[in-house]
Structure 1
Amino acid sequence: MKKYSYIFLLLLAVAGLYQCTTHKLLATYNNPPKADINSSPVVPPNESISKMKLEPGMAIKMIASEPLISTPVAITFDKNGRIWALEMEDYMPDTAGHGENVPNGKVVILTDKNKDGVMDERKVVIDSLVMPRAFCLVENGILVAEPPRLYYYDLVNDKAVKRTLVDAKYTDGGNVEHQPNGLYRALDNWIYNANSNKRYRKKGDQWLIEKAHEKGQWGISQDDQGRMYANDNSTNLQGDYFPPSLGLTNKNLRDPAGFNERTVADNRTFPIRPTPGVNRGYMKGVLDDSLRLVNFTAACGPMIYRGALFGPDYAFNAFVAEPSANLIKRDILTEKGNVVKGREAYHGREFLASVDERFRPVSLYDGPDGAIYVVDMYRGIIQHKTYLTPYLAGEIDKRKLTQPLSCGRLYKVYPEGKKLVSVTFPNDPLKLVALLGNPNGYVRDKAQQILVDGKPQQAIPALRQAMQSANPLLVTHALWTLEGFGVLQADEVLTLLKAQQWNIRMQALTASPEVINKSNYRQFADVLQQMVANNDTTAAPYVGYVTDAIQQFDKKTGDELLFSLAKKYPKNIFVSDAIVSNLQGREEAFQKEMLAYLPDTALTINKRIGRVVTAIEEAKLNSDPKLMAKYYPKGVAIFGTVCKTCHGEDGNGVASLAPPLNKSEIVNGNKTVMISILLKGLNGPVKIAGHVYKAPEIGGEMPGFADNKDFTDDDLAQVMNFVRRSWQNKGDKVTAKDVMNERKKLESRQKSFTMDELGMPVKEDPSIKTN
């Protein structure tokens, strides 16, 4: 670990003179100066807030800046209120990405020594990391994601004393923009990620790794009920209607309804400066007449606000960062039954925006004082070289955005005039239990994590007493803390299943699979059956998911529950997929039983079972992927790095990102068309198998790779051949010479293709129906 010299400490002291305290002149940062479109100089830290426009009634304070911190991408707090920051210093040193493999990433601790609300001490805990993406404090150590591996470091006095490999394939494929990140400790005591289908949990000295719902691109968050939220670069907010542990028991059930849903449809952005420096700024509709970004293109770092400090109007609000447009958007969420939807808080303005092009908010967090914490990477280049267009490279050069690379800033936002009080976490387990009912969601989460990490046995009676509280938040966290201790009892869950408040019943349903066993499953089956009989519509999908735990001991009793659900809710898509989640390996047999019971094939339940049966049959016709890897090794590698994240490992597309490659007319058709798209990109909508895919069902554009120097003509030919011969595709072979010839023809073309330009006009076939 590095020790800092007297000179460096002196620099920090000088830098402290520039740390910005609360900005009192609301008029200044609500009316920032106009941006110079031709220049984007580094704004000194003490001037940065004057460049911002903030929601009236809010205040913003800078709590750290360079040289105390450099290129931060993530932060977290420890129980003492210190800020741990992850620095990705090696990200895109220039437009070609030279030096990205230099091991200079760090985990650092920032401390406010004089208690003035501004960090003034820096300690390096781990250094020499290459492109670290995420971290998470667990017990007496820290998880650190350093592609492609996930490590756990044991810490003693803030020093790493031992490193353990947790997952050698944490980032299995994908490029920098499309690799797992987050490491978010959720309500159910598992650690979840964006852009990943795995979850993690420490049990003694062992690390458990299980399947999870894949979602999002950069950043992940949860609400008070433990439902997860994420987004991708062109999507404001996506989320789950159900807790993340449900819907995972049938590997053949792909994309179950109620998970990774479009939560907020509004994608409009309102920058306060011209933003020509976005990757597709040359395309019609990306920028408006004033050269401002029209819709999200780099949405990231979503956060569900749970801090309570902002007041009731901000309860169940989401905040989303957009670094390309130098702003943060606020969304208002509402819940109706199982469905969570939202809208932007205001049209024509944003919660926070800056005229400083280098203001790059990438991650948002709640904290121990209820404020919103903003991680500003503060740099010019944020687009990775994999997709960097010549247009954007020109914009970067025009305004000299490459240097410097060592800036970084942290802010916190809070209501003007409100006193900020950070909750301290005592060593007394009974006092920690009391904090499980705190109105600040961060405090509740942290108290639960401290208890689960230490498992003090004297806390168990208090936790059981808390389960009887009238405060549903206290009940919720007490329940999951007991689960984290491994002492949650079935009778406690059965009692909560009969609670009046829906939120408590929701948590009890979610926890039920953890306690159902051979001796008590009939008790749970009776309660679940009663919920169905009582027309508990909101609980119905949960009943379906929980039934899988009963199936393990008694298929007949389980099937009785499933048929009861089907009879009462035959048109409910959430219930239907919950039923299908029970059918691993017996989908076709159950389909016949269901058709005998409910013969109407137009019913949602029959259609949802049918789609899984069809998918299973279709998969049997797929080419052997190992054979394709043997023929096209480079193609397999590139597909895994660049294509898989959006098009799916099975080539069947990913919701909100990209359409299927499997059985695609483009893939199986004229190779010149596919080469053209791979070189110059494709702007949607796109028609596959009679269905027109367009935003928000998919992203608006696939980027081209003609200007990416990392891929040769042979590389691109190989990845096309892999795709054209994989799954059920039968396209003819592409050669490097084919790619070279087409590259020459298209040399002067800058914009992406449309389907019409490629001779494949988009017109939806009304006879093609999707479920």
Structure 2
Amino acid sequence: MEVEEGFQVALVASEPLVIAPVAMTFDNAGRIWLAEMEGYMPDTLGTGEDAPVGRIVILTDQDGDGQMDDRKIFLDSLVMPRALCLVGGGLLVAEPPNLWFYEMKGDTPTNRILVDSAYAEGGNVEHQPNGLLRGLDNWIYSAKYDWRYRRRPDGKWLKEKTHFRGQWGISHDDWGRLYYNDNSSNLSGDYFPPGLGAGNPNQRRVAGYGETIVADKRVYPIHPTPGVNRGYMEGILDSTGRLVNFTAACGPLLYRGGLIDGMNAFVAEPSANLIKRNVLDTEGFRVTGKQAYQGKEFLASDDERFRPVNLYDGPDGSLYMLDMYRGIIQHNTYLTPYLKNEIAKRNLTLPLSMGRIYRIFPTDVKRTAVAIPRNTDSLILLLGHPNGWVRDQAQRTLIDQRANDGADKLRDLLRKDSEPLRMIHALWTLEGLGQLTSDDILIAMNHPRWEVRAQALAALSSLKNTLSADQLVDFLKITVSQGDTLLAPYAMLTMAALSAEGISEVTPLYEQWAKTYANDRYVTDAFISGIGGHEKSFLHELERGKSDTSTALYRHLASVVDAIDEKSKGEDQALLAKRYPKGAILFQTACQPCHGEDGRGVSPIAPPLAGSEWVKGKKERLMALVLYGLTGPVEVAGHTYETPEVSGEMPGIVHNPAIEDAELAELLSYIRNAWGNNVDDQILPEDLGAIRSRFGDRAEPFVQSELHELFGKD
């Protein structure tokens, strides 16, 4: 490996202690709980991926030298486990399609509870939920998913809608904002609290969520990397055979360990055998960033089996890295003949039973691993620790231990301690214990730092069952002054959450602010997030009042209403799924992760299918596109989609033997009739056969202009 000057890489564990690691978490004693996905792609066909060979193991450093030397199996015989989270004295484990909670005694599972039978339902391995990150707000969030979870003190689990985020890996900063990415982007994230703004199912995009944080996708491998899926295409590799842009970005980490100056986000790229460092900056609530270096990486290896797949903070402030260490990293769903040949040519299939964990740290900084105590007073002291992992773990432990005896001391922190991070951890710990009061909120709302006041607004909605509606409205009125564009989006998001809960008393203030901030896209979208089901009536009210149709409020609301009308024109999706059952299932597994359940596209991955001329137009053109793929900018309904708005690459499935023409024909007929597309010209298996005969073993995807030339633009 080559690592940035001034940093050191140290081995934490390797095979046989570690086999195909994909996710980990630390417990309070500094032990590593690890998910091992040994069944992933044993060969280019994915033979045996359904075998129960996955595990959850516990690694311990018994002699304190920084390297793990003991391995204990907590769970075995799992099929492709992909995420885990210690919470409430037990372990949450994602084993598709299920999300399980294991109660335990010591290091032994004693009872298994099904939290969700559809956590990772459908989709292939590259497009299933993962992460299970305990956020600052005490909810558990996932990448590639739009639901969040929380365990109540009585042991019951809550499940709520949230924003759809990312693909593999998820992280948060000191203020609880979430960060994520997809395979071909660098870093995306949220400006606002994760639990707000997702209340309107008719609203596709909410400004301030899913924002591009670092747009630059350039990577700098230190050796030729021909073994990438589309390495045969122009522009994928440079003149020396090295990957040009991200193609397998994953495992983003907003580093909070306290040893590296500044605000840094690290991103893994296993296809190019490297880790990217980005430097972030904030202006108000907006977060932007750039790559730390041009022409080189934070860490890069010349070993093509080096596969960093996830990054974490740790108890000593180091950056921890999971290296899956294997030759095949691309799932067979999208495996091109080119890459299959590269795998065979260089014998990349074996070995399989390997894996590494490393930690990276500055060489000139003292590191001290912090063991998390059980004592309430000691835990409260750790809420101000410079290592964000320690602060998080202290908060979580206080909540998991139901440390209600610490409520008064937590309030003392709010009253007497102006240090913002310690205060917000105290605030959210009280919330997690069910001890948060209006007085606590009021103290935080009077803090000189706007970030702390924003946290108070985010926490206010958790008091909806204990405060009167009038009290809630009064809190909102005293928090944000007229024209305060910094806090106004937070207040509007909170009002939207309260409005969605049926607290009608906020409506007058809510609607007044919508008109006051009619040209603020963040406030406008926050407002729309709370009026699900009433969009048309509010739009009609604006029209009756002869409101300016050029405002962000009018334009954004009108676009949501247009989408509702378009969706209502379509054939009932349940009836359509009965008509094309194989197509509906294949859509769910192969298309939905990128194009969305409603066919309206997933940013920043893929454009919409609903209303798309590519779907509704000539069926021969659609079949060619789906079989052989499409690369580069694409125009849909008058809008040109290109990176970073979408990934810029749709892989073809012509070489995937697992998908038969009968299934694919149903899929294409399904999408041509879904979401108001309503095309009666059914696609048959023999139609696909004709396209295969015409283009044969073509390996490269089409570009838009070529498809227009071959099949016409209409």
TM-score range, shorter chain: over 0.9
Q: Secondary structure at the match of 1:630?
A: helix
Q: Which residue of 1 aligns with 2:649?
A: 701
Q: 1:692 to 1:553 in 2, by over 3 A?
A: closer
Q: CA deviation at 1:635?
A: 0.5
Residue 401 in 1 paired to residue 348 in 2?
A: yes
Q: CA deviation at 1:338?
A: 2.1
Q: Secondary structure at the match of 1:759?
A: helix
Q: Which residue of 1 aligns with 2:565?
A: 617
Following the alignment from structure 1 to structure 2, what is the Cα–Cα distance between the partners of residues 680 and 350? Answer: 33
TM-score (norm 2): 0.97
The one-letter code matched in structure 2 to 1:120 is D
Residue 367 in 1 paired to residue 314 in 2?
A: yes
Following the alignment from structure 1 to structure 2, what is the Cα–Cα distance between the partners of residues 348 and 763? Answer: 42
Q: 1:453 to 1:753 in 2, by over 3 A?
A: same
Contact kept in structure 2, 1:531 and 1:540, CA below 8 Å? no
Residue 84 in 1 paired to residue 33 in 2?
A: yes
The one-letter code matched in structure 2 to 1:89 is E
Q: Which residue of 2 aligns with 1:669?
A: 617
Residue 305 in 1 paired to residue 255 in 2?
A: yes
Give unpaired runs (5+ residues) of structure 2: none
Residue 630 in 1 paired to residue 630 in 2?
A: no
Q: Which residue of 2 aligns with 1:198?
A: 147
Following the alignment from structure 1 to structure 2, what is the Cα–Cα distance between the partners of residues 294 and 349? Answer: 12
Give unpaired runs (5+ residues) of structure 1: 1-51, 765-771
The one-letter code matched in structure 2 to 1:54 is V
Q: CA deviation at 1:763?
A: 14
Following the alignment from structure 2 to structure 1, what is the Cα–Cα distance between the partners of residues 222 and 521? Answer: 42
Q: Which residue of 2 aligns with 1:72?
A: 21
Residue 272 in 1 paired to residue 219 in 2?
A: no
Contact kept in structure 2, 1:692 and 1:762, CA below 8 Å? no
- Written as runs of structure 1 = structure 2, the 5 A alignment for 1:490-639 is 490-517=438-465, 519-548=467-496, 550-551=498-499, 557-596=505-544, 599-639=547-587
Q: Which residue of 1 aligns with 2:358?
A: 411
Contact kept in structure 2, 1:518 and 1:553, CA below 8 Å? no
Q: Secondary structure at the match of 1:294?
A: coil
Point out the more displaced range, 400-409 or 734-743: 734-743
Q: 1:704 to 1:116 in 2, by over 3 A?
A: same
Q: Which residue of 2 aligns with 1:147?
A: 96
Q: CA deviation at 1:520?
A: 3.7
Q: Which residue of 1 aligns with 2:699?
A: 750
Q: CA deviation at 1:551?
A: 3.7
Q: 1:349 to 1:560 in 2, by over 3 A?
A: same
Q: Secondary structure at the match of 1:275?
A: coil
Q: Which residue of 2 aligns with 1:722?
A: 670
Point out the more displaced range, 611-620 or 696-705: 611-620
Q: CA deviation at 1:528?
A: 2.6
Contact kept in structure 1, 2:594 and 2:602, CA below 8 Å? yes
Q: CA deviation at 1:195?
A: 0.3
Q: 1:195 to 1:763 in 2, by over 3 A?
A: farther
Point out the more displaced range, 453-462 or 382-391: 453-462
Q: Deviations over 1:503-534 (max 9, x none)?
A: 11011010011113585433442343344434
Q: CA deviation at 1:594?
A: 3.2
Q: CA deviation at 1:750?
A: 1.2
Point out the more displaced range, 485-494 or 275-284: 485-494
Q: Deviations over 1:250-282 (max 9, x none)?
A: 222222111111110010000001000000000
Which of 367, 376, 379 matches 1:420?
Answer: 367
Following the alignment from structure 1 to structure 2, what is the Cα–Cα distance between the partners of residues 553 and 121? Answer: 50
Following the alignment from structure 2 to structure 1, what is the Cα–Cα distance between the partners of residues 510 and 11? Answer: 55
Q: CA deviation at 1:346?
A: 0.7
- Written as runs of structure 1 = structure 2, the 5 A alignment for 1:360-509 is 360-468=307-415, 469-509=417-457
Which of 317, 321, 329 matches 2:276?
Answer: 329
Q: Which residue of 1 aligns with 2:53?
A: 104
Contact kept in structure 1, 2:173 and 2:254, CA below 8 Å? yes
Q: CA deviation at 1:593?
A: 2.8
Residue 233 in 1 paired to residue 183 in 2?
A: yes
The one-letter code matched in structure 2 to 1:150 is L
Q: 1:493 to 1:278 in 2, by over 3 A?
A: same
Q: Deviations over 1:191-245 (max 9, x none)?
A: 1000011111111221111111111000000000001010000000010011111
Q: Which residue of 2 aligns with 1:647?
A: 595
Q: Secondary structure at the match of 1:620?
A: helix
Q: CA deviation at 1:172?
A: 2.2
The one-letter code matched in structure 1 to 2:230 is R
Following the alignment from structure 1 to structure 2, what is the Cα–Cα distance between the partners of residues 566 and 125? Answer: 52
Q: CA deviation at 1:461?
A: 1.2
Following the alignment from structure 2 to structure 1, what is the Cα–Cα distance between the partners of residues 23 and 466? Answer: 44
Q: CA deviation at 1:425?
A: 1.2
Q: Secondary structure at the match of 1:86?
A: strand
Following the alignment from structure 2 to structure 1, what is the Cα–Cα distance between the partners of residues 472 and 684? Answer: 61
Q: Deviations over 1:330-372 (max 9, x none)?
A: 0111111221111111110000000000100000000011000
Point out the more displaced range, 458-467 or 234-243: 458-467
Which of 109, 121, 131 matches 1:172?
Answer: 121
Following the alignment from structure 2 to structure 1, what is the Cα–Cα distance between the partners of residues 42 and 691? Answer: 31
Following the alignment from structure 1 to structure 2, what is the Cα–Cα distance between the partners of residues 267 and 357? Answer: 20
Following the alignment from structure 1 to structure 2, what is the Cα–Cα distance between the partners of residues 553 and 673? Answer: 47
Q: Secondary structure at the match of 1:727?
A: helix
Q: Which residue of 2 aligns with 1:712?
A: 660
Which of 341, 350, 359 matches 2:288?
Answer: 341
Contact kept in structure 1, 2:438 and 2:467, CA below 8 Å? no
Following the alignment from structure 1 to structure 2, what is the Cα–Cα distance between the partners of residues 552 and 93? Answer: 48
Point out the more displaced range, 398-407 or 419-428: 419-428
Q: CA deviation at 1:548?
A: 3.1
Contact kept in structure 1, 2:35 and 2:55, CA below 8 Å? yes
Q: 1:218 to 1:555 in 2, by over 3 A?
A: closer
Q: Deviations over 1:116-174 (max 9, x none)?
A: 11111110110000001101111221111111111111111211121111100001221
Following the alignment from structure 2 to structure 1, what is the Cα–Cα distance between the partners of residues 15 and 148? Answer: 34
Q: 1:637 to 1:317 in 2, by over 3 A?
A: same
Q: CA deviation at 1:493?
A: 0.5
Q: Which residue of 2 aligns with 1:28?
A: none
Q: CA deviation at 1:552?
A: 6.8
The one-letter code matched in structure 2 to 1:744 is S
RMSD: 1.8
Following the alignment from structure 1 to structure 2, what is the Cα–Cα distance between the partners of residues 338 and 504? Answer: 12
Aligned residue-pair number: 711
Q: 1:552 to 1:490 in 2, by over 3 A?
A: farther
Residue 122 in 1 paired to residue 67 in 2?
A: no
The one-letter code matched in structure 2 to 1:324 is S
Following the alignment from structure 2 to structure 1, what is the Cα–Cα distance between the partners of residues 543 and 711? Answer: 36
Following the alignment from structure 2 to structure 1, what is the Cα–Cα distance between the partners of residues 504 and 156? Answer: 36
Q: Secondary structure at the match of 1:436?
A: helix
Which of 128, 153, 159 matches 2:108?
Answer: 159
Q: 1:526 to 1:458 in 2, by over 3 A?
A: closer
Following the alignment from structure 1 to structure 2, what is the Cα–Cα distance between the partners of residues 156 and 521? Answer: 43
Following the alignment from structure 1 to structure 2, what is the Cα–Cα distance between the partners of residues 264 and 395? Answer: 31
Q: CA deviation at 1:612?
A: 1.6
Following the alignment from structure 1 to structure 2, what is the Cα–Cα distance between the partners of residues 598 and 173? Answer: 47
Following the alignment from structure 2 to structure 1, what is the Cα–Cα distance between the partners of residues 9 and 580? Answer: 53
Contact kept in structure 2, 1:494 and 1:524, CA below 8 Å? no
Q: Deviations over 1:171-202 (max 9, x none)?
A: 12211100000000110111100001111111
Q: CA deviation at 1:702?
A: 0.5
Contact kept in structure 2, 1:59 and 1:415, CA below 8 Å? yes
Q: CA deviation at 1:567?
A: 4.0
Q: Which residue of 1 aligns with 2:237?
A: 287
Q: CA deviation at 1:568?
A: 3.4
Q: Secondary structure at the match of 2:251?
A: strand
Q: 1:395 to 1:554 in 2, by over 3 A?
A: closer
TM-score (norm 1): 0.90
Q: 1:413 to 1:564 in 2, by over 3 A?
A: same
Contact kept in structure 2, 1:681 and 1:703, CA below 8 Å? yes
Q: Secondary structure at the match of 2:675?
A: coil
Q: Deviations over 1:83-113 (max 9, x none)?
A: 1111000000000000111111000111111
Following the alignment from structure 2 to structure 1, what is the Cα–Cα distance between the partners of residues 214 and 339? Answer: 28
